[in-house]
Chain A
Amino acid sequence: KAGVTQTPRYLIKTRGQQVTLSCSPISGHRSVSWYQQTPGQGLQFLFEYFSETQRNKGNFPGRFSGRQFSNSRSEMNVSTLELGDSALYLCASRRGSDTEAFFGQGTRLTVV
């Protein structure tokens, strides 16, 4: 069974631009969570989508947004990029609300 797929793997953007990241969860999994990982802050929760609805939200500014489609694929958007947004963005797939999370390889975003 295919794992969690994140695209692209690497991305370089300039300050002020916007970016969209994509995550395809494991087939049958309805929950997709997004995390930002940086050396200084560790894994920070961004938001979780379940059946196309945002179920949980972390403490990130409104520049960070997401959505989930009917096939459970999810996208994350960051507008007006800042240097501090440089990070590894990870997507986690879960079957339901209380099962283990399976991660994609992440998207490494560099803002210059």
Chain B
Amino acid sequence: TQLLEQSPQFLSIQEGENLTVYCNSSSVFSSLQWYRQEPGEGPVLLVTVVTGGEVKKLKRLTFQFGDARKDSSLHITAAQTGDTGLYLCAGEGGATNKLIFGTGTLLAVQP
């Protein structure tokens, strides 16, 4: 069974601080996606990474896919209150192409 563990589970920081969220697995994924979910809404796709070692930047967000395609990280620079939400990683791989979600990281950015 493919599992994705995210850390930390909860994170509360002040506006302007930097943070990193990790997504780890013992399984190899053909691609990995990051989503952000706000209360009462569905997750919204932020980025997809497909190549081992790949780094993608989305404004203040930097996403990295591990060389072995088993892990990923999300780094936010100078966090803003609008970054508050649940961050989810999701991996796709194996024969079924099923999308498996990580355990989630709940981020709260205080003004």
Contact = CB atoms under 8 A, between A and B. Distances in A.
Contacts of A103: 35, 42-44
Interface residues of B, number: 23
Nearest to A58: B98
Interface residues of A, number: 22
A104 B35 CA distance: 13
9 contacts: A45-B101, A56-B97, A97-B97, A98-B31, A98-B92, A98-B97, A101-B33, A104-B42, A105-B40
A interface, over-half SS: strand
A92 interface: yes
B90 interface: yes
Given A56-B98, A98-B97, A105 B42 contact: yes
A43 B41 contact: no
A35 B101 contact: yes
A35 B98 CA distance: 12
